[in-house]
Amino acid sequence: MTHAEVLRAAGLDAAQLTGGTLPIHSPIDGVEVARVAVTPAGEMDTIVARSHAAFLKWRDLPAPRRGELVRLLGEELRAAKDELGAVVTLEAGKITSEGLGEVQEMIDICDFAVGLSRQLYGKTIASERPGHRMMETWHPMGPCGVITAFNFPVAVWSWNTAIALVCGNPVIWKPSEKSALTAMTCMKILDRALARFGDDAPDGLVQLVIGGAEQGAALVEHPGVAIVSATGSTAMGRKVGPKVAERFGRCILELGGNNAMIVAPSADLDMAVRAIVFSAVGTCGQRCTSLRRVIAHDSIRGELVARLKKAYATLPIGDPRAPGTLVGPITDASARDRMLAALETARADGGTVHGGEAVEGVAGGAYVSPAIVEMPAQTEIVRTETFAPILYVMGYEALEDAIAMQNGVPQGLSACIFTLDLREAEYYLSAAGADCGIINVNIGPSGAEIGGAFGGEKETGGGRESGSDAWKGYMRRATNTINYSAELPLAQGVKFDI
Ligand code: NAD
């Protein structure tokens, strides 16, 4: 299908795709596929006021009824999976299977959120006072601003939106300036769910803001936005976090990663190689959870590198729409240049680089061969997240040293170990082990399921989204004490008789 056919199949019409000032390019061939209208940052007051009015109605609707809208969204996503997946491929350059996988993740989180809409549980707590009962109640918070990155243009929106909606919050979405078209497609799919849902959904329940940092900043700084859930680089989070803190807003930050795998002497190397290749080169190394560092035991490092080099040599690189392609384009020429510059720095640090060259793909796109870099030490460039398929390989002798190396980076998103030694695996998962938000054994660091809480520590920002009890980040907790006695005892035995 041509780009125009993909966009038409997704329901985007010429009026939406032309006449604006924000150019959208496909990484596949660099072609400008649309020029969309930017939301003036000055409109944020109106947008937030609309969202607040929606909040006052939406919060009164019983949560299971709110869940019904998310159930319908899941149905509409199932029906539109191919069309939306194709737009993800067009706009983010993901191979077809990964584009579809991203939509499946949206469907999965909708299913999760529907069940959650009947499980927004609070605790009942033993009171120290006779004739008293304590409990926790969870309430909606207000408008939830969702800022998303280019590399997961739709899944991250759905993680936030499905949960925010069942929790009783309206959503204002500011997608990446590179992925306005997937966002517009999602809004069309949501509109179909809203039409089926009926009048219970207030106007402005989910609004879209198109633009870049300026629009994002206007959302972040607005005192009417109760929650800001921002996904992107650590540089962005460093600006957003203090702004939200300044006004005492709630912030959920999902920022950069620098994910490592330790390969122990007992590791199943067949499995490790497969996990490494998928995690390091999938999505052309442009996942926040992409594998960026392998820390291999010296006894198996040589064999592992040899097997990785062999696997890398067979990787089909090219048009992400073509069956069989495993590595599509990197997002644009400047991302490719950043990759090549990082490799130069690694060389200057004593690294030996295999691969990592600009290669022919579809004319106009930026294509690279993924790189394996054998490093003598974990230098500054290794400690930096370069958003590209670069895999640094280092060696270790003692597990404690490997864990120290793994944790010796500013980021703390995802980590894993390949070992068949139970003691090693448990030590790695213990408090003395990996310091990340996602820690796996015999699985790569990439490709999380929505059932678990997603997010990481340190410069990854500390936020949690998606499954488990991440919903608590979208609600306000009230502690309630009810006195059903005829006395008024004070806690801690305090006497205050009048
Ligand atoms: P980016 O930081 O350039 O942009 C992310 C979003 O933030 C965009 O919507 C952008 O317009 C907005 N933004 C930028 N400056 C802003 C500001 N001052 N105020 C408000 N909004 C602002 O990131 P990117 O290049 O789109 O994405 C890649 C990065 O995102 C990588 O670092 C990757 O690790 C990270 N990421 C993290 C996760 C996670 O869950 N931890 C998921 C996906 C991507």
Kindly give the number of the ligand 1 atom that is closest to the alpha carbon of 235: 2
Kindly give the number of the ligand 1 atom that is closest to the alpha carbon of 211: 11
Residue range 181-185: mean pLDDT, rounded: 98
Residue range 187-194: mean pLDDT, rounded: 98
How much is the pLDDT for 165?
98
8-state DSSP, 359: E
Q: Whose CA is nearest to atom 43 of ligand 1?
A: 288
How much is the pLDDT for 153?
98
Query: Which tokens go with 258?
Result: 């620098």
Strand 358-359 with 367-368, pairing: antiparallel
How much is the pLDDT for 462?
98
Residue range 211-228: mean pLDDT, rounded: 98
Kindly give the number of the ligand 1 atom that is closest to the alpha carbon of 148: 9
Q: 376-422, pLDDT tens digit by residue?
A: 999 999 999 999 999 999 999 999 999 999 999 999 999 999 999 99
How much is the pLDDT for 231?
98
24, 98, 109, 151: which to mutate for ligand 1, most atoms within 8 A of CB? 151
Q: Is 254 a catalytic residue?
A: yes
Q: 80-118, pLDDT tens digit by residue?
A: 999 999 999 999 999 999 999 999 999 999 999 999 999
Three-state DSSP class for residue 273: helix
Cα–ligand 1 centroid distance for 61 (angstroms): 33
Query: Which tokens go with 58?
Result: 């939406």
Set 284, 288, 416, 436: catalytic member = 288
Cα–ligand 1 centroid distance for 490 (angstroms): 49
Cα-based distances in Å from 47 to 37, 191, 406 = 16, 18, 44
How much is the pLDDT for 47?
98
8-state DSSP, 202: P
8-state DSSP, 96: H
How much is the pLDDT for 110?
98
Contact of 193 with 73, CB cutoff 8 Å: yes
Position 305 confidence tier, pLDDT thresholds 50, 70, 90: very high
How much is the pLDDT for 447?
86
The Cα 405–Cα 214 span in angstroms is 37
Whether the pTM exceeds 0.95: the reply is: yes
The Cα 63–Cα 51 span in angstroms is 18
Cα–ligand 1 centroid distance for 247 (angstroms): 21
Kindly give the number of the ligand 1 atom that is closest to the alpha carbon of 243: 19
Kindly give the number of the ligand 1 atom that is closest to the alpha carbon of 150: 26
Contact of 457 with 437, CB cutoff 8 Å: yes
Averaged pLDDT of the chain: 98
Q: What percent of the chain has pLDDT over 70?
A: 100
Strand 457-458 with 32-36, pairing: unpaired
Set 83, 102, 254, 459: catalytic member = 254
Q: Please name the residues in contact with 126: beta carbons below 8 A apart, sequence gap of 6 or more.
A: 134
Alpha helix (H) ranges present in 282-398? 298-313, 333-348
SS3 content of the chain, % helix, strand, coil (to 5): 40, 20, 40
Full 3-state SS string of 5-16: HHHHHCCCCHHH
Q: Whose structure tokens read 């900043």?
A: 217
Contact of 366 with 27, CB cutoff 8 Å: yes
End-to-end CA distance of the chain: 82
Residues with CB under 6 A from ligand 1: 147-152, 156, 174, 176-177, 212-213, 216-217, 220, 231-233, 236, 239-240, 254-257, 288, 385, 387, 413, 460
Cα–ligand 1 centroid distance for 63 (angstroms): 31
Cα–ligand 1 centroid distance for 436 (angstroms): 19
Q: 324-377, pLDDT tens digit by residue?
A: 999 999 999 999 999 999 999 999 999 999 999 999 999 999 999 999 999 999
Q: 142-180, pLDDT tens digit by residue?
A: 999 999 999 999 999 999 999 999 999 999 999 999 999
Cα–ligand 1 centroid distance for 253 (angstroms): 10
Q: Whose structure tokens read 């799919």?
A: 189
231, 331, 390, 446: which to mutate for ligand 1, most atoms within 8 A of CB? 231
The Cα 26–Cα 32 span in angstroms is 7
* AA letter at 95: I
CA 299 distance to own-chain centroid? 36
Q: What is the signed CA dihedral for 63, 69, 75, 81, rounded to 10 degrees?
A: -110
